[in-house]
Amino acid sequence: MFVKRANDLITMKRKLYPTEKSILRGSRAARPCAGGAKACIRKTRRFGQRAAVFVTAVAACFAAAFCCRTAAADITLAVIAPKAGEYAQSGKELFDGARLAVREINDNGGLNGEKLDMLTIDDRCDDRLAISTAEMLTLLKSKKVGLVVGPYCSNRFDEIAGIYERAKIFQIVPTTVAYNAGSAGKKGQILLLGTKAQMSGDFFQFYNRNFAGLKVGFVYNDKPEDGYSEVAKALYDEFRRFGKGELLKFYALNREQGGMYDLARTMEKDGINVAFVLGENDETVNFIRAAKDVQRSIILFTSKNMVSPDSLKRLGKDAEGLYVMTLPGLKDSLMFTENLVNLRLLGIEPEGLEVYSYVAVKLWGDLVRQVNGFAYEKLAKAANSAALREKWSEFLMHSGSIESSKYIIEMYQNGEFRQVY
Q: Write out pLDDT tens, residues 291-347.
A: 999 999 999 999 887 787 888 999 999 999 999 988 765 455 545 555 666 666 766
What confidence tier does 79 reach under pLDDT thresholds 50, 70, 90?
A: very high
pLDDT tens readout for residues 237-278 = 888 888 888 999 999 886 666 689 999 999 999 999 999 998
- Whether the predicted pLDDT of 162 surpasses 80: yes
Phi-psi group of 375: left, alpha or beta (phi > 0 → left; psi -120 to 50 → alpha; rest → beta)? beta
Q: Is the pLDDT of residue 63 over 70?
A: no
Domain match, 157 and 85 both:
yes
**Close Cβ partners of 257 (under 8 Å, ≥ 6 residues apart):** 286, 290
- At 230, the amino acid letter reads E
- pLDDT grade for 227, boundaries at 50, 70 and 90: low
Indicate whether 167 and 241 sit together in one domain: no
Position 105 pLDDT exceeds 80? yes
Q: Is the same domain home to 92 and 183?
A: yes
Same domain, 108 and 182: yes
Residues 309 and 210 in one domain: yes
Mean pLDDT, range 88-100, rounded to an integer: 88
DSSP code for 27: H
Q: Which long-range contacts (CB under 8 A, 24 or more apart) does 101-109 make?
A: 101/357, 101/358, 101/360, 101/361, 101/362, 101/365, 102/70, 102/77, 102/361, 103/342, 103/346, 104/342, 104/362, 105/361, 105/362, 105/365, 106/70, 106/73
- Tell me, yes or no, whether 62 and 73 share the same domain: no
323 DSSP β-pair partners? 301, 411
The answer to the question of residue 396 being in a domain is no
Q: What does the mean pLDDT of the chain come to? A: 76
419: which strand partners?
410
Query: Is residue 53 domain-shared with residue 75, that is, in the same domain?
Result: no
Pair 73, 222 in one domain: no
Give phi and psi for 166, each to the nearest 5. -65, -35
pLDDT tens digits for range 343-392: 667 666 666 678 788 889 999 999 999 999 999 999 999 988 888 777 77
Structural domain includes residue 400: no
Say which CATH number the domain at 251 has. 3.40.50.2300
**pLDDT at position 141, please?**
65
Q: Is residue 391 part of a domain?
A: no
**Residue 184 pLDDT exceeds 90:** no
Last residue of a domain, one of 67, 82, 104: 67
Rounded distance, CA 267 to CA 219, Å? 10
Mean pLDDT throughout 94-101?
91
DSSP 299-336: EEEEEGGGS-HHHHHHHGGGGTT-EEEE---GGG-GGG
Amino acid identity of residue 161, one-letter, is: A
Domain hosting residue 99, numbered range: 68-194+334-384
Strand order in the sheet with 75-80: 116-121, 75-80, 145-149, 170-173, 189-191
Same domain, 414 and 290: yes
Alpha helical stretches, state H, 112-192: 127-139, 157-167
Cβ 413 vs Cβ 325: under 8 Å? no
**What whole-number distance in Å separates Cα of residue 81 and Cα of residue 351?**
16
